């Protein structure tokens, strides 16, 4: 069941990333990735962001920092 939710969430991420790329907000190719690769990286990063997080707010803060760095790397 968790895997199904993860796959659904990743599909939503990929759809959102593709739309942002079409609109010119981000350029995944700057990182050598396509939308699916960015979606996968976001999922992996979110799981990894649990490391060192003592509670849910800390985990959210780690994810937010990771996403910020990744998005900045894809902006022109």
Could you read off the pLDDT of 26-75 as tens digits, one per residue?
A: 999 999 999 999 999 999 999 999 999 999 999 999 999 999 999 999 99
Q: Report domain extents, the chain.
A: 2-74
Residue 1: pLDDT over 70: no
DSSP per position, 17-59: HHHHHHHTS--GGGGT--HHHHHHHHHHHHHHTTTT--SHHHH
């Amino acid at each position: 069941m968790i895997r199904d939710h993860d796959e659904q969430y990743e599909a939503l991420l990929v759809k959102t990333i593709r739309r942002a790329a079409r609109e010119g907000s981000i350029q995944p190719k700057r990182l050598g990735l396509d939308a699916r690769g960015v979606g996968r990286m976001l999922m992996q990063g979110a799981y990894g962001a649990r490391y060192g997080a003592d509670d849910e707010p800390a985990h959210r803060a780690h994810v937010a920092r990771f996403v910020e760095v990744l998005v900045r790397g894809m902006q022109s």
